[in-house]
Amino acid sequence: MVTRMTIDSGRKSVRRYAIIAGAVVLTLSLSALSAQAAPERERLTILVACVVLLIETALVVALVQLARRRREAQRLLEARLHFGHLLSELSLSLTAAAPDEVDSTLDAGLRRITAAVRIDWVWRWELGNTRDGGWHSPQLMAGEPAYFDVRAALPRTLQENLVALGVADGASVAVPLTVDGVTGGAIFWARAADSLVAVDELQMLTTAAATVLQRRRAERALGESDRLKGAILASLPAHVAVLDRQGTIIAVNGAWREFGRANGVTSDAAIEPGQNYLSACMSGICAGAPAAADALHLIAAACAGEHSDIQVEYACDGPGIERWFLMTAEPLRRPEGGAVVTHSDITVRKVNEIALRESEGRFRRMSDALPVAIWMADVDGQCSYCNQQWLRMTGRSLEQEMGAGWLESVHPDDRVAARRSYLDAVDARRPFRLEYRIRRYDGEYRWLLDTGMPRYGSDDEFHGFVGGCIDITERREAEQLFRDLNRRLIVAQEDERRRIARELHDHLNQQLALLAIDLQQLSLHPPKTAEALTAALHADWRRTTEIASDVHAISHRLHPSKLEALGLVATMRAHCRDVSRQGFAVQFSEPDVPPGISADVALCLFRVLEEAVTNALRHSGAGGADVELKANGTGIRLRVSDRGRGLTASERSSGLGLISMRERMQVVGGTLSITSNEGGGTVVEAHVPYTARHYAAGDAEAAGTFPRAVRAS
């Protein structure tokens, strides 16, 4: 319309100028004709006619140009109208398209517009396409159009499209897709020719497309976000309900509804969207539900926008089983407010907790009943439990022993080493054995053997250590006593060797030396007569007999060979007779002693007899002793008694001979008892029970001297 009005105005101006020019020419011509002669007038008339003709020709040419411009303007106007129509259609189609159809609708609209703007190809390019190898254009990033004269300057995907179309080169312009100053891509327009149209229309199209595209993408992203949130809510195993500020339920997840269906909740009793959760809690309070009041307080605070760390545990009766739930409530983060209430099924955890408490209770009762000090520690090695035996032993409370408090009772000399060894074992998570002294409730330090083991759960997770302590003071004392005994035995052995050496050197060696001298003298100076030679040989024979007797006595003290040849009874009787010859009367009796006693038992009983009789001879001060060897229903008993001064308590427990007798009896499974009072004499009793290994094979069995139980075995 505007173009047509402009053309009409131009035509009127041309006509107006032509009329004015003709009038001017005509006026001048008439003036000139009136002043000239007839020939001159004719010439002037011809000249005026020519001028008028030229003017008319110019006017015709001007009119033709105006018509051409009119047609061009008309064509441009129609093209703009068509472009605007296509742009409107594209906007309407993009507005009406579904979110997942926006991209395809935009591509189809762009292909329709290419013909209107005399463009050969159009492509939509998105920023960040990995196939483009990081292609970048500063002009596009600045929101300005970018021109490209060669194909190599385009993104790789567009180059591949041109190659697929068989286009060698061409001109391209890229108009950025910019929304709110942010460039997210561009539309590339390309022509096979070297020139491009103006980009005003293209920018207008790109702006409209970018706006609609951004809006639709935002809607699609919002829809996807809503679907994702819905899927997340439906996938949660917890029962979730969303409330508004007044406590009315506006949404629940699938687990919420599924729990109601699984537990037979009717539609009237179900807590569904549209119902007020606070009112349901009030009904629970009226019905006497134990956790309803806490739930009401928690949900009301969340609806008011207050965050709380309180969690409510409650039991719910289900079909055939009692289930436990943990309820939490958090404020809904939106301007309208509200709350999100979750109910998590903790039945398995609760059952495990109950079972664990019962198991711990049984463990504590069992550990308290044991005569062993038991302790437990956490993953850091800090004491977390001690049983009653430990507490009674130390005389301290459980609170005092917690953490590292138990070290306070450890002996100062052992504390550092015990702590270091214990922590090293905890760090390495390996078993350990420690020996240290600990202060008992009465202040006495006792030796403990502390054994610890790492403990793991069913999931192989390290939970700490557990261990026990036993009092080894007696064992340590016995070990010390054993070491002292070994030392004393070594000393006694050396003393015995010295005694034997003295006897060999001072007595036997001297006797042998004298005998050798006599024999040498006899050989050098033989007697003159046979009687003298016989007397000399008889004297040497007597001396040799004495030496043999002394050697036999020493050998008998070292090992009584008579035991093997004569047996236990005869050897004991001979020993008692030998002692009686020294002025100490020993009465020996042996009623009902079975034959076939094994060599180790016979030697043991004989050594006990020797030691007991020797002690009576040396220390009792009595004039004699009574020895009785007899068998009873359980075994063989040896009893040595005297009526001397008796033994003191220290003598009964620390004498080397007495210790030797006890150890000998332990070797054969027997027992030794010593009964003595100062001034009342001493009784030593040794008892060896019947066992098959204590008798020579065949002897006792044939004699029928085994008790029935031994023979049956």
Last residue of a domain, one of 298, 329, 345: 345
In the block, tokens 């101006």 appear at: 13
Query: Both 596 and 543 in a single domain?
Result: no
Q: What does each C-alpha distance from 233 to 219, 253, 328 come to in angstroms?
A: 21, 6, 16
Q: What's the domain count of the chain?
A: 6
Q: What is the CATH number of the domain that holds 292?
A: 3.30.450.20
Identity of residue 253? N
The proportion of the chain whose per-residue pLDDT surpasses 90, expressed as a percent, equals: 15
Residue 435 has pLDDT above 50, yes or no: yes
How many angstroms separate the CA atoms of 200 and 189, rounded? 13
In a domain, 15, yes or no: yes
Instruction: Indicate the SS3 state at residue 689.
Output: strand
pLDDT at 446: 93
In the block, tokens 């009896």 appear at: 665
In a domain, 95, yes or no: no
Among 326-340, 450-464, 506-520, 657-671, the minimum mean pLDDT is found in 506-520
Among 99-113, 247-261, 394-408, 464-478, the minimum mean pLDDT is found in 99-113
Higher-pLDDT residue of 309 and 553 is: 309
Packing angle between helix 38-96 and helix 200-235, nearest 10 degrees? 10
In a domain, 100, yes or no: no
Helices and strands, counts by H and E, the chain = 23, 19
Instruction: Indicate the SS3 state at residue 607.
Output: helix
Residue 419 has pLDDT above 90, yes or no: yes
Contacts of residue 10, defined as CB under 8 A and 6 or more positions apart, other chains included, come to: 66
Query: Both 609 and 676 in a single domain?
Result: yes
pTM: 0.39
Query: Both 340 and 464 in a single domain?
Result: no
Tokens of 409: 């009772």
pLDDT at 412: 94
Query: Both 588 and 681 in a single domain?
Result: yes
Residue 1 has pLDDT above 50, yes or no: no
Query: Both 582 and 706 in a single domain?
Result: yes
Query: Both 564 and 663 in a single domain?
Result: yes
In a domain, 110, yes or no: no
In sequence order, the β-bridge partners of residue 345 are 325
pLDDT in tens, 206-241: 776 677 667 766 777 777 777 777 777 777 778 888
In a domain, 108, yes or no: no
pLDDT in tens, 107-130: 777 777 776 666 777 777 877 777
pLDDT in tens, 345-365: 888 888 877 777 777 777 778
Query: Both 143 and 281 in a single domain?
Result: no
Query: Both 566 and 512 in a single domain?
Result: no
In a domain, 89, yes or no: no
Last residue of a domain, one of 169, 197, 224: 224
Question: Are the C-beta atoms of 636 and 687 separated by less than 8 Å?
Answer: yes
Q: What is the CATH number of the domain that holds 202?
A: 3.30.450.40
pLDDT in tens, 272-287: 788 888 888 888 888 8
Query: Both 75 and 121 in a single domain?
Result: no
Last residue of a domain, one of 345, 366, 400: 345
In a domain, 90, yes or no: no
Residue 72 has pLDDT above 90, yes or no: no
Question: Are the C-beta atoms of 611 and 661 separated by less than 8 Å?
Answer: yes
How many angstroms separate the CA atoms of 433 and 465, rounded? 13
Residue 267 has pLDDT above 70, yes or no: no
Write down the H helix ranges in 236-373: 254-262, 277-286, 292-303, 347-369
Q: Across all residues in the chain, what is the average pLDDT? A: 77
pLDDT at 427: 93
Q: Which domain holds residue 286?
A: 236-345
Higher-pLDDT residue of 258 and 277 is: 277
Query: Both 518 and 376 in a single domain?
Result: no
How many angstroms separate the CA atoms of 627 and 613, rounded? 9
90: buried, middle or exposed (CB in 10 Å: 19+, 13-18, 0-12)?
Answer: buried
Give me the mean pLDDT over the 410-416 stretch: 94
In the block, tokens 């009902």 appear at: 592
What DSSP string describes 80-129?
A: HHHHHHHHHHHHHHHHHS-GGGHHHHHHHHHHHHHHHTT-SEEEEEETT-
Using alpha carbons, select from 458, 407, 451 the residue that is nearest to residue 431.
Answer: 451
Query: Both 698 and 620 in a single domain?
Result: yes
Higher-pLDDT residue of 319 and 283 is: 283
In a domain, 578, yes or no: yes
Give me the mean pLDDT over the 331-345 stretch: 88
pLDDT at 533: 80
Query: Both 637 and 577 in a single domain?
Result: yes
Q: What is the CA radius of gyration of the chain?
A: 64
Neighbours of 447 (CB within 10 A): 18
